[in-house]
Amino acid sequence: MPRFSPSLISALLAAGLLAACASSPEDKTAGWSTDKIYAEARDELNGGAYDKAVPLLEKLEGRAAGTPLAQQAQLEKAYAQYKGGEKAQAIATLDRFMKLHPASPALDYALYLKGLVNFNENLGLFSWLSRQDLSERDQKAAKDSFESFRELVTRFPESRYTPDARLRMTYIVNSLAQYEVHVARYYYQRGAYVAAISRAQSAITDYKDVPATEEALYILVRSYDALGMTQLRDDAQRVLQASYPNSSLLSTGFKAKDNPWWKFW
């Protein structure tokens, strides 16, 4: 086994330490005040450099721990993660904020931002039209978004974020109901009438007072008729005519709506 002199060993150790120091990234914020860190982070946020804003806000959160500025850093970090496409990280940051600061005056904003992170204004509708199926995960995200908005409007009815949250809740409910109707229509057009009835009934029972109900009832009428279930067909038709006396579906059949219901803003 080769033997090395103590001086050589010392030299090797020193070289290793120097290499380690050289490879460690320099902390440019080391001498900065918390105000300067925050100003730099805001500049990165305003410039759309969300990946650069996040580490600055993490530094700020640590150095300003226990102060309102640290809470602000958490919320802005969640926003930067959301805008940067890091949705799971944004949700984790917001959940941590709400756990640590349940009485924060910014709790309404945290709930609103959590709803936005999960909110997808296409919500599968356009994915369906382009023949891409809506995944179970997208459905869960939509429902999680709804729950965040619902908690916001329930706990903070006077919040500045509540009016927009209400609109988005309506959008989510309409979207999920319309998705059920699209699936029901898909099954009906392929002769899977029992499956079409099941999805149409889900749209009617799970989502009240939504535009999709009209077409869901029409799908029930057509599906029951195809199965020879005349009593149920007639019952569904009576409900359709009573609920939508001006409906043209019974005379013209399926057609695209001229005024999209999903346009809220």
Return the pLDDT at 31.
81
Tens digits of residue pLDDT in 225-238: 999 999 999 999 99
Q: Which amino acid is at 44?
A: E
| Helices of type H across the chain | 6-23, 34-46, 50-63, 68-83, 87-100, 107-118, 125-129, 136-155, 162-189, 193-206, 212-226, 230-243, 249-252
Residue 129: the pLDDT is 47
pLDDT tens across 158-212, in order?
999 999 999 999 999 998 898 899 999 999 999 999 999 999 999 999 998 899 9
**Residue 125 or 203, more confident:** 203
pTM: 0.76
pLDDT above 50: residue 135: no
Q: What is the mean pLDDT of residues 7-14?
A: 53
pLDDT digits (tens, 9 = 90+) for 246-255: 998 988 887 6
63: left (phi over 0), alpha (psi -120 to 50) or beta: alpha
**What are the Cα distances from residue 59, in Å, to 33, 68, 94, 144, 200?**
11, 15, 17, 30, 52
Over residues 32-72, the pLDDT tens digits come to 899 999 999 999 999 999 999 999 999 999 998 989 999 99
pLDDT at 133: 45
Domain 105-265 is classified in which CATH homologous superfamily?
Tetratricopeptide repeat domain (1.25.40.10)
What radius of gyration do the chain's Cα atoms show? 28
Residue 179 phi, psi (nearest 5): -60, -45
Of 96-100, 110-114, 134-138, 212-216, least confident by mean pLDDT is 134-138
How confident is the model at residue 126, as a pLDDT? 47
Kindly tell me the sign of the dihedral angle through the C-alpha atoms of 248, 254, 258, 261: positive
Identity at 142, one-letter amino acid code: A
Domain boundaries, the chain: 34-93, 105-265
Chain segment 69-110, per-residue pLDDT in tens = 999 999 999 999 999 999 999 999 999 999 999 999 999 999
3-class SS letters over 192-217: CHHHHHHHHHHHHHHCCCCCHHHHHH
Q: Which residues of 169-184 are buried (b: 16+ CB within 10 A; e: fewer)?
A: bbbbbbbbbbbbbbbb
